[in-house]
Amino acid sequence: MAASETLQFMAKVKSGLIDYFTERLDIENSALETYNKLGPIQGSELPDDVKRMREIQAILLRDRVNELNKHIAVIKRIFPDA
């Protein structure tokens, strides 16, 4: 494989990875938006365990969004453009 072919291949890989991670980021952001719209659960309509589980899930979603943003940034820096 010539150098230019290698660079083109790496650019395709970069594009595919960024597309994948961007799709995952959209999914996670959508789920996080749902949690944010619902807001904290007030009152006693749900048991404390359910409230705690929802809070933990929201924290995990925020963490996934942060990690995906980091992955996208790293891929953009590491892989060359064609």
Task: State pLDDT tens for residues 13-30.
Answer: 999 999 999 999 999 999
**Token output for 19:** 């597309």
Q: What are the pLDDT digits (tens) for 55-78?
A: 899 999 999 999 999 999 999 998
The total of other beta-carbon atoms located within 10 Å of residue 45's CB is: 8
Indicate the pLDDT class of residue 36, thresholds 50, 70 and 90: confident
Amino acid at 37: K
pTM: 0.78
Domain edges within the chain: 20-78
